[in-house]
Amino acid sequence: MRYGVKAQDGETVLNLKCPPDLQLFLREKYPEWVLPSYHMSKTHWISVVIASDMPEDEIKQLIKLSYEITESGKRAKNG
């Protein structure tokens, strides 16, 4: 997971992994704050603008989900 990346306009964004159906839902719900992730798979990754109107609890839940998804992938590769 990549975090604390500065966008061109100076805002901080998080790149987070999430299921494709959730990604589409979030991009529709927060079109200015949840974007296709830069330099990542647009199907599984989103960029979330931190200085946004998106509720902090929702951002924290997305961070936790992203961590769980990436960790389960690591465990599966390592057997």
pLDDT tens figures, 9-28: 677 888 999 999 999 999 99
Domain that holds residue 22: 2-78
Cα–chain-centroid distance for residue 66?
7
The count of domains in the chain is 1
pLDDT of residue 10: 72
pLDDT of residue 62: 95
User: Could you read off the pLDDT of 23-74 as tens digits, one per residue?
Assistant: 999 999 999 899 988 778 888 999 998 877 889 999 999 999 999 999 987 7
DSSP 3-state of 7: coil
Number of H helices, E strands in the chain: 2, 4
Residue 71's CATH number: 3.90.1150.30
Q: What is the pTM of this model?
A: 0.76
pLDDT of residue 2: 43
